[in-house]
Amino acid sequence: MSESKINISRRDSLKKLTALTFVGAASPAIALESPIDSKENIQWDKAIDIAIIGSGFAGLAAAITAVKNGAKSVAIFEKMSVYGGNSAINGGLFAVPESPLQSKENVKDSAKLMVKDQIASGRGVADTTLLEHVAKNANKALQLTLEAGAEYHPYLQQLGGHSKPRSYQTTVNCGAGITQPMLQYARELGVKTYNRHKFNGFIQNEQGDVTGIKLVKGFYFGEDRGQTINVKATRGVIMASGGFAQNIPLRMAQDPTLNAEVGCTNVKGATGDGLLAMLRIGATPIHMAHIQSGPWASPDEGGFGYVSNYSLFNFPHSVAINRATGQRFMNEIADRKTRCDAELTCRDENGNPLPPILVTSYHYSKHHSSLKKVLKYGVGWQFDTLEELANHFNVPISPLKKQIEQYNQYTKSGVDEQFGKIMDLAKNKPIVPPFTAVRLWPKAHYCQGGVQINKRAQVLDSYSGKPIRGLLAAGEVTGGVHGVSRLGSCAIPECLVMGMTAGQTIMEV
């Protein structure tokens, strides 16, 4: 059998296999059509240089970079009614080693150290080459956002698993503080943007090169309506369509524990359409089972909510308490997987979830703007005494008092003798009244798995191991970058840097 016939057979098999996967996913949207159309005489409705699927960090960075590198016609297609996707609603935390703020605060850091932290969190299976590329270019990505008009708090945060404080945060405490100015900047540069345009498959030539895309124009999420159009992309397509955490059957196929009872921080459109289409034309899947949950989420609100940012800020100088014992049960700034696993052990005598509480002194929690909304919307509480707090959450008061006293000694000595927590941001910050408290329980948050790419953001074919011509990808739709667990605030640099890389590469090939 010739190689060409083997290749065609393989593609047909992958097409059928993934089609079955997608049918099982029971997508709430229009069914994904066959992504392969090799007709040379296809009827094109529009022709542009570059088509970008997704309007989050990666897609916007790719568009801006492509235009700066000479692209004449670039279009971003977004399937939802609003732009930004998950990027707009994330925490707006951005890890940058050797940043201007670190220099100002005399924090000694390096790209090498950031990568070391990420490899540890990724349990040794992260892609070191991609991590190094992202870390070394994070400052360039930061400058791009500043150029676009993004604004950040004048202080750094140290998130779980990071050995140094290196995380910026937008002044609005969410990713929209980056996506909105970047969207405006992209438009000023001439990038065309289209919402309610759902990606519905690739168009390829006889050689298998991606030459265009099929879209459903006038798409409304959850409704079977819209007009299919064909868009020719003379230079290629950049997929920045995000993860699949809202596709419950697909995520359960990777991890059966992530069933419908598990909450999710993502926008409803995070169903993995772009990922599935790339798999159907031969892209290599990688680390699909590594789906991360957020240990800072609250069971008392939907989605990402207000508690998440509140917790992220306060973990370094707070204690997480098991309500059944009144004791700490984890390092509050360990990596995400370690903390999620620890939180899930907090159960009542019947084995039912007993969400632990994060206890903070109001003297320090008040410095984060999210506290006002946490209290206003009843997803967090304030107490004048430890007895009031214990009574509200039915926590045994005696062991709780002893635990707080013990922890307060660690804030003086700078050494956590229980869990080895880095106490740099907790030094001389005892847990004293009045207190604030929130409940914690993990929510599905980020898909470490996706399609495999190389350092140039090119999507790799599963049969040849070579790039699929005309197809690049960046952001959460790709996989293998972070390994088993992603460190908080590392998604933004990854999405921005790889988006910039895709925008540059597509102008060079």
Give the residue extent of every domain in the chain: 3-90+179-291+447-505, 296-441
Please report which confidence band the pLDDT of residue 79 belongs to, taking 50, 70 and 90 as the band edges. very high
Q: Which residues of 226-253 are buried (b: 16+ CB within 10 A; e: fewer)?
A: beebbbbbebbbbbbbbbbbbbbbbbbe
The answer to whether 47 touches 487, Cβ cutoff 8 Å, is no
Q: What is the pTM of this model?
A: 0.84
DSSP, collapsed to helix, strand or coil, labels residue 415 as: coil
3-90+179-291+447-505 CATH pick, 3.30.420.140, 3.40.50.2300, 3.40.50.180, 3.50.50.60: 3.50.50.60
- Short-list 16, 56, 204, 134, CA closest to 487: 134
Q: Dump the DSSP string for 308-358.
A: HHHHHHHGGG-EEEETTTTEE-S-TTS-HHHHHHHHTT-B-TTS-B---EE
CATH code of the region 296-441: 3.90.700.10
Structure tokens at 247: 């596709």
For position 41, what pLDDT does the model report?
Answer: 76
DSSP, collapsed to helix, strand or coil, labels residue 49 as: strand
User: pLDDT digits over 463-495, tens only?
Assistant: 999 999 999 999 999 999 999 999 999 999 999
Q: What does the DSSP 8-state code read for residue 72?
A: S
User: pLDDT digits over 256-303, tens only?
Assistant: 988 887 889 999 999 999 999 999 999 999 999 999 999 999 999 988
**Angle, helices 57-68/176-188, rounded to nearest 10 degrees:** 30
Residues 6+ positions from 245 with CB-CB distance below 8 Å: 251, 264, 265, 266, 270, 291, 444, 445, 446, 447
Task: Calculate mean pLDDT across residues 411-433.
Answer: 96
DSSP, collapsed to helix, strand or coil, labels residue 492 as: helix
Q: Where in the sequence numbering do the catalytic residues fall?
A: 336
Please report which confidence band the pLDDT of residue 40 belongs to, taking 50, 70 and 90 as the band edges. low
The answer to whether 138 touches 494, Cβ cutoff 8 Å, is no
Distance CA 465, CA 452 (A): 10
Distance CA 361, CA 389 (A): 12
Handedness of CA 392, 397, 399, 401 (dihedral sign): positive
